[in-house]
């Protein structure tokens, strides 16, 4: 499959790409990949917007969630894009973004707990144990926030997996925050770290 641009798009694809351009002032390569399946792009855009507007997380917390999922899934494209959004739109402290990018400890207890819970949800495929859920709730989050994390995992899985399949080229606007991650998955890394 290849990217679909406006000149090669059918009517349904064109409508989605124009909406993307209106909302983002550009048509990112990822969206041009997703629009090969208009239902996929439409679902992604709808779910992403709902997470941003209705999750109840602050903009910093939202980026922590989205960056953590993308790091767990080793999605270089989304890590670069959300790092740039964290820097320029959400105004996330650089230390927080860099901690997620480099798999190091976030100094803020609540954000560290949020990132840890998101990692647990991704790596355990949505099967946290009671202690992990309670630790998340003890940070001041709600049961509804658990569902918000599930929504974020859903939309990020769509984007992360699309980028894996397409090997989506990073848009120029995100290149300053390019991320290569690391080759071994974080869950394997954490397993070996737990043995030490």
Specify the pLDDT at position 184.
47
CA 104 to chain centroid: 18
Per-residue pLDDT at 183: 44
3-state helix, strand, coil in the chain (%, to 5): 70, 0, 30
For the chain, give every domain's residue range: 57-195
Is the Cβ–Cβ distance between 67 and 79 less than 8 Å? yes
What pLDDT score does 186 carry? 54
Looking at the chain, which runs of residues are DSSP E strands? none
Cα separation, 177 vs 187, in Å, equals 24
Q: Are 118 and 68 in contact (CB under 8 A)?
A: yes
> What Å distances lie between residue 59 and 120, 137, 170, 176, CA to CA?
21, 19, 23, 21
Q: What is the per-residue pLDDT for 181?
A: 75
Q: What is the rounded distance in angstroms from the CA atom of residue 25 to the CA atom of residue 178? A: 21
The per-residue pLDDT for 1 is 76
Contact between 121 and 113 under an 8 Å Cβ cutoff? The reply is no
Tokens of 114: 């949020």
Selection from 48, 104, 105 nearest residue 78 by Cα: 48
CA distances from 114 to 22, 100, 145, 174 (A): 32, 12, 10, 25
Q: How far apart are CA 68 and CA 101, in angstroms?
A: 8
Q: Encode pLDDT of 65-89 as tens digits.
A: 999 999 999 999 999 999 999 999 9
Which pLDDT does position 196 carry in this prediction? Answer: 59
Secondary element (H or E) of residue 78: helix 76-88
pTM of the predicted model as reported, rounded to 2 decimal places: 0.90
Question: Across the 196 residues of the chain, what is the mean pLDDT of every consecutive 10-residue run?
Answer: 94 97 96 98 98 97 98 97 95 97 97 98 98 98 99 98 97 96 55 61
Class of domain 57-195: mainly alpha
């Amino acid at each position: 499959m290849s990217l679909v641009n406006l000149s090669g798009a059918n009517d349904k694809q064109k409508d989605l790409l124009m909406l993307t351009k209106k909302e983002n002032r550009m048509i990112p390569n990822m969206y041009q990949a997703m629009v090969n399946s208009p239902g996929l792009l439409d679902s992604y855009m709808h779910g992403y917007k709902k997470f941003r507007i209705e999750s109840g997380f602050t903009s910093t917390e939202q980026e922590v969630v989205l960056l953590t999922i993308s790091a767990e899934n080793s999605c270089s494209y989304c890590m670069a894009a959300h790092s740039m959004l964290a820097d320029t739109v959400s105004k996330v402290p650089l230390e927080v973004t860099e901690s997620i990018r480099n798999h190091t400890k976030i100094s803020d207890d609540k954000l560290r707990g949020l990132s840890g819970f998101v990692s647990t949800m991704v790596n355990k495929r949505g099967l946290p144990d009671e202690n992990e859920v309670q630790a998340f709730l003890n940070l001041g989050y709600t049961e509804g926030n658990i569902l918000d994390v599930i929504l974020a995992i859903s939309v990020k899985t769509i984007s992360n997996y699309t980028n894996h399949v397409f090997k989506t080229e990073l848009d120029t606007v995100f290149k300053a925050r390019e991320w290569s991650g690391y080759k071994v998955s974080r869950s394997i890394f954490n397993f070996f770290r737990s043995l030490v």
